[in-house]
Chains A and B, each alone.
Chain A
Amino acid sequence: MPVTPKMVGARIKRREDPRLITGRATYVDDIRLPGMLHLSLVRSMYAHARLGAIDATAARAIGGVVAVFTAADLKGQTGPVPCVAEIPGMKLPHHPILAEGKVRHVGEPIAAVVATSRYVARDAADLVEVEYDPLDAVVDPERAVEAGGAVIHEEFGDNVAFHTEAPSPEADRAFREADRVVKLRIVQQRLIPMAMEPRATVAQWASGDRQLTVWSSTQIPHLYRTQLAEALHLPENRVRVIAPEVGGGFGAKLNVYREEILVPWLAMKLGKPVKWTQSRREDFAATTHGRGQVDYVEAAVKQDGTVTAIRAKVFVDLGAYFQFFTPMISGFSTMLMHGCYRVPALSSEQFGAFTNKMATDAYRGAGRPEAAFMAERLMDEVARELGMDPVAVRRKNFIPKDAFPYATPAGLTFDSGDYEKALDKALEIVGYDELRKEQQELRKQGRYLGIGVSTYLEICGLGPSVMLPPKLKAGGWESCTVRIEPSGAVTVLTGISPHGQGQETSFAQIVADSLGVGMDEVLVVHGDTATVQSGVGTFGSRGTALGGSALRMSLEKIKSKMKTIASHMMEAPPDALDVGEGKVFLKSDPSKGLTLAQVIDAAYNFKAGIPNIEPGLDATSFYEPTNCLYPFGTHIAVFEVDPETGRIQWRRYVAVDDCGNVINPMLVEGQVHGGIAQGLAQALYEGVVYDENGQLVTGTLMDYAVPRAHMIPHLELDSTVTPTPVNPLGVKGVGEAGTIGSTPAVVNAMLDALAPLGVKSIDMPLWPEKVWRAIQEAKRS
């Protein structure tokens, strides 16, 4: 029998691309409906103020203005903006659709202006007069939790959103018995996710059918539908959410925003379709930010470099209101702050602080970049204090490859890993020993070469459903339907909602290999709640691991039914049959069998009346994972620092990542490249700046340095493959690994370069000016 080439594992170019490279894809703002109105929002110019009168007389007087609404008009009409996360003892602030009585961050929406065109809506919004009585702004999370000063939510009495403790007597003992205690203060600056497509929502209410259709730029159409139906008091089956082409998300569209409730409400209220498209300035001020922590972290260390305990005190800059997951993001940081190292005891304390800023929430990595940064910076600091090589300290502390499944002190179970293998490969590629020698030579010439290593680990593909909060009304599962159409075409309905990851291709590869059909016969459908069974979405590097596993389950069910049908037709027991290469065949004699077309015809034509079998050929599966997944790898950054300017000159960037089995290496490379770029961006360029009045200084792309092509070095990628036993595909996840691994590699390289000058710490981003200042300061002291 001829063997078709295996698709899984091959570099198959994407089936998404033809529409995208020709300008024929449909993003939300591309949608135009008859009679469609446009929304523009009046947003707060102040970080913290009491609201006085809102006068929309002049705005209403403009031709084309249909309506202006404020919080008073919405009272009792909708539920609040949902937060599904729950932390013990947490204070949950009321999160209205439009500001009620007070504004608590720059960009908070105050009034909704609806007009017949986007230009008129914007003109009219500018004419709405708002009276403000400004209050002191709370901007620093460490000071926010101290007593005294302005209180953002008066009903709570202070700005402490939560205070949690995870003490450990074992850790206390380890610190008492330690030869040394290594301490770091880490500022995880706020970042702006900045998907290229700003958020946008279009809604249409069919009053006759009582059917609401919403197109929104979201990563979670199904979860959004559940929350929206509740907020608008509609039966969930009267709400259809479509995530059409989505231009990037990075966690910022793993959310349900004020506008995503307001726009559908307006469409119902006004009886006309309504569109809202965010400007970039609005995106910066009113889409969730990432990171935002100050971490005080300490390691108890033995003289030989063994780390016996880690403890951390974390201040979390939550912002003024809670978005979908806001208060639970930082939990991942302390849970995984030991990284891939065998550290027997952890203790931590977290203060969640309300601040007069936009909420923080998931951003590529969501808590794990912070964790990896703690672990990887600590390892380097231990090495520096003990005069050891940072690689040697890591080897000393690695969880060995024969220790899996490995139970962590935080109660997790690492699935599989071989950290030394990825490290060895990266060291070999970069030529580590020679580089260290060269570094010594260059130092003699007054030149500063930095070599930064990061042997990161992360958690993804969350996870058993118990790991997700009950208010989510969904779990860690994912769904998939495989439908073999009567013609033999294969339709895959997946519950994930890809927005650039490429599963229209990688899932077709899985189908092609499983059934032995051509990829062109497979169509992968996603992002429409009316078409696709309940699903969860795309975030946390879960798409392929969970959605792909659900696909695999459905394919197995389809194959099983095919065998039963063929068994009846061939008069052979189902166990004696197999499916592949487009056939159902006898295992003992593969030349004997039926084509899939014959079996499909029997399933739908059904004239043969197969006993105990329903007609048709489709299967739906919900895959519930038994554990999370733990990808890992080694990143090495090498650059020279010019002490006169603080600038860096890149030499090498080597990344060896292990995400388990790979479906399409080209897509994995793309994910790693993009992830690294975002991690380097945190280390070197990006940082949200709110001034002391809570004004967003980095309010546009003119002030916030998203890296351009020449700001990212050429990346050298390689991989190791340690499959996970958790799912049937053996895949882990790779969407966030690059971001998680890269940031500490760069900072470690910088501090390695400047070690002879006595520089011990520079807060990110490592702007040349800050590097230069750190050098001057070290010289003085």
Chain B
Amino acid sequence: MNKAIEITVNGQKQAYDVEPRLLLVHFLRDVLGLTGTHVGCETSICGACTVLIDGRAVKSCTVLTVQANGAEVTTIEGLEKDGELHPLQVGFWEEHGLQCGYCTPGMILAAHDLLRQKPDPTEDEIRHGLEGNLCRCTGYQHIVKAVQHAAERMRAGSR
């Protein structure tokens, strides 16, 4: 019944036999113990479970683990490099882009994909670019500033 998969998660190859119905988010959380990826709904609306699959933001609560076979997955735990925070992490910290923190990992990874496509987004583009991710605490304004903060630093060349 189980299926063998091999997924690279945050740069490390992971080989497991998993149930075909195992959701990627549960593979990350329950099998690998990467609990930074959160579950906020089961309808792909809230975005708390957003991870990067081959660089693209994907909601991991509606991806089967077997569908990610062979892919490269990045979670919030994989953003820090050599003990240095990613500019998006810095931006969210500097601009108070989070309160309870539950949406934050998904929000940061969704913003990561947005900045890949639009390195210099307007406020409007940020708001629309993040429309797949809900936040109930911040009213989004400081999230917009956080992404702008990161975009500026990333354009200046720090990653």
Residues of A within 8 A of B (CB): 13-14, 16-18, 20-27, 29-30, 32, 118-119, 194-198, 245-248, 250, 277, 279-281, 499-502, 666-667, 669-670, 673-678, 700-702, 706, 708-710, 712, 714-715, 738
Other than A198-B40, A710-B131, give 7 A-B pairs with Cβ distance below 8 A.
A20-B104, A21-B101, A21-B108, A30-B35, A32-B33, A674-B137, A710-B127
Tell me, yes or no, whether B115 is within 8 Å of chain A by CB.
Answer: no
Q: Within the complex, which residue of A20, A27, A281, A500 is in contact with B42, where a contact is CB–CB below 8 Å?
A: A281
Hey, which chain A residues are within 8 Å of B142, CB to CB? 669-670, 673
| Chain A: CB-nearest residue to B79 | A22
> Cα distance A499–B94 when bound, in Å?
19
Tell me, yes or no, whether B3 is within 8 Å of chain A by CB.
Answer: no
- What count of chain B residues pass the 8 Å CB interface test? 60
| Docked-complex contact A670 and B100, CB < 8 angstroms | no
The minimal Cβ–Cβ distance linking B47 to chain A, given in whole angstroms, is 9
| Docked-complex contact B102 and A248, CB < 8 angstroms | yes
| Chain A: CB-nearest residue to B93 | A17
The minimal Cβ–Cβ distance linking A16 to chain B, given in whole angstroms, is 7
**Given the known A-B contacts A23-B77, A196-B40, A674-B139, are A119 and B93 also in contact in the complex, defined by CB atoms under 8 Å?**
no
Tell me, yes or no, whether B63 is within 8 Å of chain A by CB.
Answer: no
Hey, which chain B residues are within 8 Å of A29, CB to CB? 29, 35, 38-39
> Cα distance A677–B48 when bound, in Å?
19
Tell me, yes or no, whether B130 is within 8 Å of chain A by CB.
Answer: yes
Hey, which chain A residues are within 8 Å of B119, CB to CB? none
The minimal Cβ–Cβ distance linking A308 to chain B, given in whole angstroms, is 38
The minimal Cβ–Cβ distance linking B159 to chain A, given in whole angstroms, is 15
| Docked-complex contact B38 and A247, CB < 8 angstroms | yes
| Docked-complex contact B43 and A712, CB < 8 angstroms | no
**Given the known A-B contacts A667-B96, A673-B142, A709-B143, are A23 and B40 also in contact in the complex, defined by CB atoms under 8 Å?**
no
Hey, which chain A residues are within 8 Å of B45, CB to CB? 700-702
**Given the known A-B contacts A701-B46, A701-B134, A702-B45, are A13 and B102 also in contact in the complex, defined by CB atoms under 8 Å?**
no
The minimal Cβ–Cβ distance linking B118 to chain A, given in whole angstroms, is 15
User: Which 10 pairs show the lowest CB-CB distances between chains A and B?
Assistant: A23-B36, A247-B102, A20-B101, A500-B100, A673-B139, A677-B139, A500-B99, A23-B76, A701-B45, A30-B35
Q: Within the complex, which residue of B33, B41, B136, B141 is in contact with A714, where a contact is CB–CB below 8 Å?
A: B141
| Docked-complex contact B43 and A197, CB < 8 angstroms | no
> Cα distance A24–B144 when bound, in Å?
23
Q: Within the complex, which residue of A22, A499, A669, A701 is in contact with B43, where a contact is CB–CB below 8 Å?
A: A701
| Chain B: CB-nearest residue to A250 | B136
| Chain B: CB-nearest residue to A671 | B99
| Docked-complex contact B46 and A280, CB < 8 angstroms | yes
**Given the known A-B contacts A17-B92, A197-B40, are A22 and B85 also in contact in the complex, defined by CB atoms under 8 Å?**
yes
Hey, which chain B residues are within 8 Å of A27, CB to CB? 35, 38, 102
CB under 8 Å from chain A, chain B span 1-50:
19, 21-22, 26, 29-30, 33-43, 45-46, 48
| Docked-complex contact B75 and A23, CB < 8 angstroms | yes
Hey, which chain B residues are within 8 Å of A198, CB to CB? 39-40
Q: Which interface residue of B105, B128, B140 has the most chain A CB atoms within 10 A?
A: B140
The minimal Cβ–Cβ distance linking B15 to chain A, given in whole angstroms, is 21
Hey, which chain B residues are within 8 Å of A675, CB to CB? 139
Tell me, yes or no, whether B103 is within 8 Å of chain A by CB.
Answer: yes
Q: Within the complex, which residue of B77, B80, B98, B139 is in contact with A17, where a contact is CB–CB below 8 Å?
A: B98
Q: How many A-B residue pairs have CB under 8 A?
A: 176
> Cα distance A119–B31 when bound, in Å?
13
Hey, which chain B residues are within 8 Å of A676, CB to CB? 139
Q: Within the complex, which residue of A14, A23, A701 is in contact with B41, where a contact is CB–CB below 8 Å?
A: A701
| Docked-complex contact B131 and A709, CB < 8 angstroms | yes
| Docked-complex contact A25 and B101, CB < 8 angstroms | yes
| Docked-complex contact B100 and A673, CB < 8 angstroms | no
Q: Which interface residue of B75, B102, B104, B127 has the most chain A CB atoms within 10 A?
A: B102
Hey, which chain B residues are within 8 Å of A501, CB to CB? 99
Q: Which interface residue of B26, B48, B77, B139 has the most chain A CB atoms within 10 A?
A: B139
Tell me, yes or no, whether B154 is within 8 Å of chain A by CB.
Answer: no
**Given the known A-B contacts A17-B98, A196-B46, are A677 and B140 also in contact in the complex, defined by CB atoms under 8 Å?**
yes
| Docked-complex contact A196 and B48, CB < 8 angstroms | yes
| Chain A: CB-nearest residue to B103 | A196
Hey, which chain B residues are within 8 Å of A195, CB to CB? 100, 102, 136
| Docked-complex contact A248 and B76, CB < 8 angstroms | no
The minimal Cβ–Cβ distance linking A68 to chain B, given in whole angstroms, is 22
The minimal Cβ–Cβ distance linking A303 to chain B, given in whole angstroms, is 41
| Docked-complex contact A245 and B40, CB < 8 angstroms | no
Query: Could you list 17 A-B pairs, sorted by A, with CB under 8 Å?
Result: A17-B92, A17-B98, A22-B36, A27-B38, A29-B38, A32-B30, A194-B136, A196-B48, A196-B100, A499-B100, A500-B99, A670-B96, A674-B137, A678-B136, A709-B127, A710-B124, A712-B139
Tell me, yes or no, whether B65 is within 8 Å of chain A by CB.
Answer: no
What are the interface flags for B114-140 relative to A under an 8 Å C-beta threshold, 1 for contact and 0 otherwise? 000000000110111011111111111
> Cα distance A16–B99 when bound, in Å?
9
**Given the known A-B contacts A673-B139, A674-B99, are A24 and B134 also in contact in the complex, defined by CB atoms under 8 Å?**
no
Q: Within the complex, which residue of B46, B101, B105 is in contact with A16, where a contact is CB–CB below 8 Å?
A: B101
| Docked-complex contact A247 and B100, CB < 8 angstroms | yes
Q: Within the complex, which residue of A14, A666, A708 is in contact with B131, where a contact is CB–CB below 8 Å?
A: A708
Tell me, yes or no, whether B89 is within 8 Å of chain A by CB.
Answer: yes
| Docked-complex contact A669 and B96, CB < 8 angstroms | yes
| Docked-complex contact A24 and B36, CB < 8 angstroms | yes
Hey, which chain A residues are within 8 Å of B37, CB to CB? 23
The minimal Cβ–Cβ distance linking B42 to chain A, given in whole angstroms, is 6
Hey, which chain A residues are within 8 Å of B93, CB to CB? 13-14, 17-18, 21
Grouping DSSP codes into helix (H, G, I), strand (E, B) and loop, the A interface class, with mixed when no group exceeds half, is loop
The minimal Cβ–Cβ distance linking B35 to chain A, given in whole angstroms, is 4
| Docked-complex contact B85 and A706, CB < 8 angstroms | no
> Cα distance A701–B43 when bound, in Å?
7
> Cα distance A710–B144 when bound, in Å?
10
**Given the known A-B contacts A22-B85, A709-B126, A709-B127, are A666 and B100 also in contact in the complex, defined by CB atoms under 8 Å?**
no
| Docked-complex contact A22 and B89, CB < 8 angstroms | yes
Q: Within the complex, which residue of A16, A280, A714 is in contact with B40, where a contact is CB–CB below 8 Å?
A: A280
> Cα distance A499–B130 when bound, in Å?
23
Hey, which chain B residues are within 8 Å of A20, CB to CB? 98, 101, 104
Hey, which chain A residues are within 8 Å of B75, CB to CB? 23
> Cα distance A447–B133 when bound, in Å?
34
| Docked-complex contact B123 and A21, CB < 8 angstroms | no
> Cα distance A676–B140 when bound, in Å?
11
Hey, which chain A residues are within 8 Å of B40, CB to CB? 196-198, 280
The minimal Cβ–Cβ distance linking A669 to chain B, given in whole angstroms, is 7
**Given the known A-B contacts A676-B139, A701-B43, A709-B130, are A119 and B21 also in contact in the complex, defined by CB atoms under 8 Å?**
yes
| Docked-complex contact A196 and B136, CB < 8 angstroms | yes
| Docked-complex contact A22 and B128, CB < 8 angstroms | no
Hey, which chain A residues are within 8 Å of B79, CB to CB? 22
The minimal Cβ–Cβ distance linking B81 to chain A, given in whole angstroms, is 12
> Cα distance A248–B104 when bound, in Å?
12
> Cα distance A451–B88 when bound, in Å?
37
> Cα distance A665–B26 when bound, in Å?
39
| Chain A: CB-nearest residue to B45 | A701
| Docked-complex contact B38 and A197, CB < 8 angstroms | yes
> Cα distance A17–B143 when bound, in Å?
14
Q: Which interface residue of B94, B98, B124, B126 has the most chain A CB atoms within 10 A?
A: B98
The minimal Cβ–Cβ distance linking A74 to chain B, given in whole angstroms, is 28
Q: Which interface residue of A21, A277, A669 has the most chain B CB atoms within 10 A?
A: A21
| Docked-complex contact A280 and B139, CB < 8 angstroms | no
The minimal Cβ–Cβ distance linking B128 to chain A, given in whole angstroms, is 5
**Given the known A-B contacts A23-B77, A23-B105, A709-B140, are A502 and B43 also in contact in the complex, defined by CB atoms under 8 Å?**
no
Hey, which chain A residues are within 8 Å of B141, CB to CB? 673, 712, 714-715
The minimal Cβ–Cβ distance linking B40 to chain A, given in whole angstroms, is 5
The minimal Cβ–Cβ distance linking A365 to chain B, given in whole angstroms, is 14
> Cα distance A738–B139 when bound, in Å?
10
| Docked-complex contact A712 and B99, CB < 8 angstroms | no
> Cα distance A265–B101 when bound, in Å?
30
| Docked-complex contact B100 and A248, CB < 8 angstroms | yes
Hey, which chain B residues are within 8 Å of A196, CB to CB? 38, 40, 46, 48, 100, 102-103, 134-137
